[in-house]
A and B are shown apart, each in its own frame.
Chain A
């Protein structure tokens, strides 16, 4: 009788479950032991409920696409009956009253949500240092951050304590931690997956997506979650699609764009060399490289931090100590109830962004900041529209650097924001993006994972997964794992 094997793909695990070599309950038991052995040094999980999960596993229909597959869920995505805090003190004591649509669809496909993953508070951050619970450590170097905001989701997959997890990506929050931890992360096209049940950060940018150990697994999760939902009017009605359908096809005839603005001085040398080598590999697999330009790239961070903070300041107005979460015991009247509850409940980065968002929307500044940013957003979107008339996908590093150390950027928010330079424009343009392992960089004597980013036109996920899979099959990067000890 076999048990849980760390880093086994969903596709492989599914075969074992269906052939009865492994039961869904045994799988959960093995996973539970692996988490108990490994996670204390990483801190990916902020909660887990194996009791409920095992009950569900005992009755699961294994013929379904994800029958019996356990999935970890970012603490911003609702799982009915489970605590939900978006890693914030202000939601202490909150229990999600319903399933997010993405979670409900995973259940319909037979998957079992069993744990909640750490993150930056309200998904605001690039290091998971802004969590109200505790920081998550990078499995490759425990003195370094895992990236963020979906840092727990990425670190769990990379440390073999989850087969797959859900994250959310507003400016790179799936792809950047996937890159820094050395796993696969997919940000689908805006509108592809319903946002219902995802605690909103910036509603025009947020998108739920999978983090997995293989490219194919991301496609399997997308298959289960995609589609129109009456509860989210921004989710789109599109023909049914099997996102793994192109997987296995070669890259002949595909053109990959190399944007000169994404290959600039100042990039970590090991990141540069890994991505250059990855491009050569893609070319040797049949892809044709095309130099392209995305001329408004340099404005992306500025535009993002206006639009995202403006939307956040409005979205986070609902946390007022009245309907859910925590209320300050110091409140004397209604105004102090709001002001003190929010002062005690929000962490520093969230406060900073609420204040910035309030500023750019305030009387007299709206046109100069918010409206102008929305117009520059149009220019950024057009850059991609034009690029995609020439190429099938765009290739770049996911992040200009590998994992940095704890505290390295916490005193300088702008420095932290600039770390997202290669992922932010994707969300502004609403297109899809995939990060997958493409090598290692030696940073201060430590070998750290590098991520390759593939960007695709709206609704072009299948093509991205095809390219990513072909690269993955031709290389060994996703077979390398950090040495954390195992169950043996």
Chain B
């Protein structure tokens, strides 16, 4: 299966290990993975600020880089959500629509497309708090939310259930937003930081040693908050855990 890997800018710059784990995991599961070298960003930061005109060229470049692939996979829910549901600053040609439809966040790709639920090589003997970013949760519907009365489902948790030794602990507000929110984190810094502190305190209070997440941008913010207030919490992307990282 031919797959294109999209590594978001903040993962490229700050968390290369997440990109590497995603690449290795997809290859381990039999995918033939391309990494288009001219990729940059999906346009979300500009569009999310209302600046659709400024997002246009970036979105066009994204569509060009990933045209023709059956599947485009990214270890970031908010980027996948932007591409699938909000990449509208450029003309919606059939090729653009195809790129949008074919773009998947990693967990939903593993769960819904590859339908792989066994990760026999994975072992993570730690107490883990799961953080699902809001775009992954409510935008991509990766899990049941606490607001809606419907049968329970949780795609990231189901995959983590296959990891030996991993014990999920439940924070008091499992699907409360952590306050990252992209540019919100800098333009609304006081509330963003307060939400981040509350979030990491909740994980810590539940006994988590690690926070595992499909959304490294949330983790970047939470890690910054936890380090500032001296909490012994560690943060790791779900791709790394599913790929066999032990710590």
Q: Bound pair: A and B?
A: no
A residues contacting B by CB (< 8 A) are none
